[in-house]
Amino acid sequence: MRKALLDWFAEHGRDLPWRRTRDAYAILVSEVMLQQTQVSRVVPRYLAWLERWPTAASLAAALPADVIREWQGLGYNRRALNLHRAARQITERGWPDDLTDLPGVGRYTADAVRAFAFGKPVLPVDTNVRRVQERTGRRFDSACAQALFDLGATVCLGRVPRCRICPLAVQCPSRNRRYEPLRRQPPLEGSFRQRRSQTLRLVAARARPLAELDDEAVAALRDDGLVEVTGAVVRLPV
């Protein structure tokens, strides 16, 4: 099964820019951007980000306001501030032995950087990897990581897997099963998430009087460190 997976990946693997580097900072940027965001949206933003801030030191020197503006459109904007804080920590102290000591870095992201940048024999287990392993009943080694990502993202899909074209189907005990989605994302339209996003977009364009804005959204953004309120004016942090 391992050979079938790797042979399939050699022919069908996605050509993604973060797969062409071993630079730990670049890989960290990609992994943080990819959290809850589609690959197709991330690729152009990743390239633009690294063109603007090619090193951890260059990002560390940036203003938080500029970092938030550059992140606009990727969603879950706290990731931008966490990445900025991580860059400052790396610049000041170097890469920690335990990468989960970096702001916003959990077990999966830490393992991904360890595997893809530092060459450690660890398999980063995200939703796609976990799904393939659970359905096949097999455990794969770190060399299979990128292949598992792609198989889970394009073939072994969450609800209706494409078993007809799966390289593992012959040996897979879950072949031709169908699944209920584990979790449905609440609609964005009319949600508080949308209100927060719209409010942050307005403040990113220019500082605005609090009276012009959604005060509940402002309070939530302020709690996350994404805006500052000075008197009656709301602006991005500096």
Cβ neighbours for 161, distance < 8 A, ≥ 6 positions apart: 135, 155, 174, 177, 179
- Up-side HSE of residue 172: CA atoms within 13 Å toward CB? 23
Report the amino acid identity of residue 53.
W
Question: DSSP states of 51-117 as a string?
Answer: HH--SHHHHHTS-HHHHHHHHTTSS-THHHHHHHHHHHHHHHH---SSGGGSTT--HHHHHHHHHHT
**Measured between alpha carbons, how far is 162 from 220 in angstroms, rounded to an integer?**
41
The catalytic residue among 31, 134, 216, 228 is: 31
**Measured between alpha carbons, how far is 35 from 76 in angstroms, rounded to an integer?**
9
Judged on CB neighbours under 10 Å (0-12, 13-18, 19+), 210 is middle
Q: Estimate to the nearest angstrom the gap between the alpha carbon of 52 and the chain centroid.
A: 19
Report the amino acid identity of residue 13.
G
Judged on CB neighbours under 10 Å (0-12, 13-18, 19+), 209 is exposed
Residues facing residue 229 across a β-bridge: 234
Q: Could you confirm whether 31 is annotated as catalytic?
A: yes
Active-site residues, by number, are 31
